[in-house]
Chains A and B, each alone.
Chain A
Amino acid sequence: MRLCLQYCRLAMLRWFNSLNQLASVEVSTLYASDQDRDRQNGITLFETLLALSVLALFAVPLFALFERSATALANNQTNIQQAEFAHALLNEIEVTGSFQSRTEIYRGRYDIEIEVTVVPLPIENRFHEIFELYEITMAVDDRHSSSPPYVVEATLLGSTE
């Protein structure tokens, strides 16, 4: 590292000497050794670059954090929409009585999987001949989002088929 810095310094001096001949710019500080430099005068280029590098090291993860928060925001919206859709479908199934297992796509955006298991009411229940319990597992997945599908399990009461 030190060798590399010395090499850079030498290259810069050579280049600056040629510039100096053309522009007559004062370059004496470049020849001053570290011992000559009074630390009260300010900070060196090396210190500045080091500080910037450290700052960059912290800034890069911060940028990643921004991106992650934006993704989380989008995923939250998707989760709310998927949950709303699932509960709307459960209401529709309960009222219309369409207790069939099926897979469908809603308007090209949502994949819906509905699995229905029929559980008869206990024989001692006086409604066991006209009603049944339907155990429903439903998954709603937004095709346009990377967030996982919303899965809901519910038991609904419906008339016998």
Chain B
Amino acid sequence: MKQRSSSSGISLLEVLISLAIMSGIAIALAAIGQTGNRLWPRIAVNDAFVEAALVRSTVRDDFANLPLVSSDRSLSDIAVFEADRIVLLEKPDKPVSVLSWRENALTFQRGDGQSTPRLLYDKPTGLTVQFFGQKFPRAERQWSEDWTSASLLPELIKIESYDARGEPNPPLVLYVSRVAIQREISLSSLLPPG
């Protein structure tokens, strides 16, 4: 039998087998690529989702920390309610933050409008805003879609929307002046807080 030297090249069988092995590796790599391709959008969406959830938490805190309307502090000193935005004020004409909405966008902006608006939901659709409370002293507490002419703060702001796929988002409920209300309840109770 003739002995093949190591420099004489490769046989057809070796070529076929290496092709088969390379095909197997290529298929495995393609599967890895496909999995990565499927996972990457989910990870990107998750980043946007977490960012938006943190912004929602900030908005809830800002509204919860608003002071109550009193004899020495009117609504215009605390917040300005417009048709498509709410401006929270530290002093008259000094905004702390702005919550603004359109049918397909809900943004939150800190300060006097210089910072970048941050999204509360990623590509929302069908956005609606409702207010609950007394618009004026001695008025009935009820839900309303407009708070521009009110003289009191709403007790609750409810923002409902759908996501980009048409699935409903959980409603965003802002409990206005929650901290001040709870402090008032604590101070008026029989026992001190805690």
Contact = CB atoms under 8 A, between A and B. Distances in A.
Contacts of B2: 26, 28
A69 B25 CA distance: 24
Contacts of A91: 156, 173, 175, 178
B190 A28 contact: no
A13 B39 CA distance: 46
A77 B47 CA distance: 10
Given A73-B42, A92-B173, A80 B35 contact: no
A84 B35 contact: no
B13 A92 contact: no
A154 interface: no
Nearest to A26: B4
Nearest to B188: A127
Contacts of A59: 28
10 contacts: A16-B12, A19-B12, A23-B12, A28-B2, A30-B11, A56-B28, A70-B38, A73-B42, A77-B49, A84-B56
Nearest to A45: B17
A142 to B, nearest CB: 9
B167 A109 contact: yes
B168 A108 contact: yes
Contacts, number: 98
Contact of B170 (A31, A48, A81, A96): A81
Contacts of B25: 52
Given A59-B28, A88-B171, A92-B158, A25 B42 contact: no
B43 interface: yes
B53 interface: yes
Interface residues of A, number: 51
Given A28-B1, A91-B156, A16 B13 contact: yes
B137 to A, nearest CB: 18
Interface string A16-29: 10010001011111
Interface string A73-108: 110110011101101110110111000000000111
Contacts of A30: 11, 13
Interface of A: 12, 16, 19, 23, 25-32, 41, 45, 48-49, 52, 56, 59, 63, 66-67, 69-70, 73-74, 76-77, 80-82, 84-85, 87-89, 91-92, 94-96, 106-110, 125-127, 144, 157
A21 B110 CA distance: 83
B13 A88 contact: no
B167 A144 contact: yes
A25 B43 CA distance: 53
Interface in B35-68: 35, 38-39, 42-43, 46, 49, 53, 56
Contacts of B170: 81-82, 84-85, 88, 106, 110
Contacts of A157: 185
Contacts of A28: 1-4
B115 interface: no
Contact of A92 (B4, B6, B39, B156): B156
B71 interface: no
B152 to A, nearest CB: 14
B168 A27 contact: no
Contacts of A89: 173
Contact of B53 (A26, A69, A84, A125): A84
